[in-house]
Amino acid sequence: MNTLAENAASGNTRGRRRLARVAGLALLIIALLGALLAWFNLRGEQGVHAYGHGGWSGARETPAALIERGAYLARVGNCAGCHTAAGGAEYAGGRGLPTSFGTLYTSNLTPDKESGLGLWTAQDFWRAMHNGRSREGRLLYPAFPYDSYTHVTRADSDALFAYLQSLPAVRAQVPRHALDFPYGWQGSLAVWRALFFTPQDWQDRPQKAAAWNRGAYLAQGLGHCAACHAPRNGMGASSQAMSGGFVAGQAWYAPSLLDPGEAGVREGQESAWVQLLQTGSGPSGSALGPMAEVVARSTQHWQPQDLQALASYLQEQGATAGPPRSRPAAAPVPSGQMALGRAIYERQCAVCHGAEGQGTPGAFPALAGNASVTLAEPRNLLLVLLEGGYPPSTRQQPQPHGMPPFGHVLSDAQVAAVASYVRNAWGNKAAEIGNMEVYRAREGRGF
């Protein structure tokens, strides 16, 4: 009996030792993974105290000049667009940004010491822009597009901060983020950053012209074009390749800036592309949906040479990006569907867009030969038909002509018919639109 008891006790001891070894090994693995995760999140941050490429020296600019340059940079980055709630004070934050993971609310950028940036330094602001970290060191959500802003030079970061500090302080507590589990956890952000983000210092390419480098800097940095015009994976990370994608949390499709068949800059057509960003309308159409706000708040205020630099850079990027996205040949639209679509067009659309889709110069865009009408992804066309289209009011076009909504007077079948018609009349050629596509656009689904 004693022997059996001793054997049992010995077995229990060995079991406890084995369990202790397994637990110790698990803790070691967790510690190693945590250290690796911390290393990934700190890589590239060692130079944060340096001014880096293009650094600013206070001796070069007066405070007034620095603030003036910062005001322009704020326009370039459309900072007020996100950091101003409907009916709220400009830059005071509180605007809700819908995402696939919940709603994020933008921060107060005014110099209020309790709710804004009043206690921040230029160094703290640079850390947020370059490293995606708050003043306290917390990881920021990438809805603040620091994967683009990390390219912004310290010189421009300081100018932007000087401008924000010159604004009237507004005490405005923003709502707490409403995120699904586990996306509100800092550990989840640490994993995301380890996989998808490394701080980058901007370097001009010496073999390229100054205008090309300026355009590249604007597109990849403060302009953050990829935030809308690049596809995102299931974790919300952008590829930074501006090949088109759905705007996060919205039904609108941001077309490719590399493919001339979408919104890319065609060779020799840079001036028309610039005109769209300056006025909100151009020969090939108008800025609608989210892009209308970008034009109104940002690009109409850009210096002409910056718009030209951006256009030249994107034109070259498109030319070197390879052949345009291949599209399957569109089957002919059934004659009955075309007849129905034509009847609706003549009754509802021709008075503005013309019997042959030629449009009215300076007022209503042409539909014949319009790339936005024949996009392989028809979502924008359907949204305009259903909800209407409203170009931005700009200095050069203060009272633009809008398009009324037809979603309340046309059925899904009628919208599908007229959309299919304009995509295949007057030399246009694109795939037929089905009722289900209209239903998904109407209901805001289909992603």
What is the per-residue pLDDT across 190-217, written as a single tens digit (0 to 9) for each?
A: 999 999 999 999 999 999 999 999 999 9
- Residue 200 has which token pair? 């980058």
The reply to whether 216 and 304 lie within a common domain is yes
Task: Tell me if 277 sits within 8 A of 300, measured CB to CB.
Answer: yes
Name, in order, each residue with C-beta under 8 angstroms of 297's C-beta and a sequence gap of 6 or more: 75, 78, 80, 81
Last residue of a domain, one of 169, 196, 223: 196
**pLDDT at position 168, please?**
97
Whichever domain contains 364, its CATH number is 1.10.760.10
Instruction: Tell me, yes or no, whether 166 and 72 share the same domain.
Output: yes
For the four alpha carbons of 285, 268, 369 and 432, in that order, the dihedral sign comes to negative
pLDDT at 325: 60
Q: Per-residue pLDDT tens for 106-124?
A: 999 999 999 999 999 999 9
Could you tell me if 176 and 224 lie in one domain? no
Q: Tell me the residue length of the chain.
A: 447
Q: Are residues 222 and 187 part of one domain?
A: no
Q: Which of 263, 296, 321 is the last residue of a domain?
A: 321
Mean pLDDT of 9-31: 57
Pair 105, 187 in one domain: yes
| 408 belongs to an annotated ligand binding site | no
Q: Is residue 35 part of a domain?
A: no
* 295 & 415 share domain: no
**Is 130 annotated as ligand-binding?**
no
- pLDDT of residue 4 exceeding 90: no
Q: What pTM did the predictor assign?
A: 0.85
pLDDT digits (tens, 9 = 90+) for 50-61: 444 344 444 478
Is 228 labeled as ligand-binding? yes
- Assess whether 95 and 167 both reside in one domain: yes
Averaged pLDDT score across all residues of the chain: 87
Closest CA to 13 of 5, 431, 437, 333: 5
Could you say which of 266, 286, 321 is where a domain stops?
321
Residue 47 lies in a domain: no
Q: Is 177 annotated as a binding residue?
A: no
Q: Is residue 97 part of a domain?
A: yes
Domain enclosing residue 345, as ranges: 335-443
Span 419-432, average pLDDT: 96
Q: Considering the domain boundaries, does residue 5 fall inside one?
A: no
In a shared domain, residues 302 and 420: no
Query: pLDDT confidence of 362, banded at 50, 70, 90?
Result: confident
For residue 158, being part of any structural domain is answered with: yes
Q: Are residues 84 and 189 in the same domain?
A: yes
**Average pLDDT value for residue range 326-344:** 88
Query: Is the same domain home to 186 and 247?
Result: no
**Residue whose structure tokens are 């609108």:** 252
Residue 21 has pLDDT above 90, yes or no: no
Q: Which of 316, 243, 255, 339 is nearest to 289 (CA)?
A: 255
Q: What is the pLDDT of residue 328?
A: 67
At residue 36 the predicted structure's pLDDT band, cuts being 50, 70 and 90, is: very low
420 located within any domain: yes
326 within a domain of the structure (yes/no)? no
| 49 domain-assigned | no
pLDDT of residue 16: 64
The predicted pLDDT at position 155 comes to 95
How many structural domains does the chain have?
3
pLDDT digits (tens, 9 = 90+) for 235-269: 888 877 899 999 887 889 999 999 988 998 888 88
Do 433 and 356 lie in a common domain? yes
For residue 353, say whether it is annotated as part of any ligand binding site. Answer: yes
Distance CA 40, CA 30 (A): 15
Q: Are residues 260 and 350 in the same domain?
A: no
95 pLDDT above the threshold of 50 = yes
CB 420 within 8 A of CB 433: yes
The annotation status of 225 as a binding-site residue, yes or no, is yes
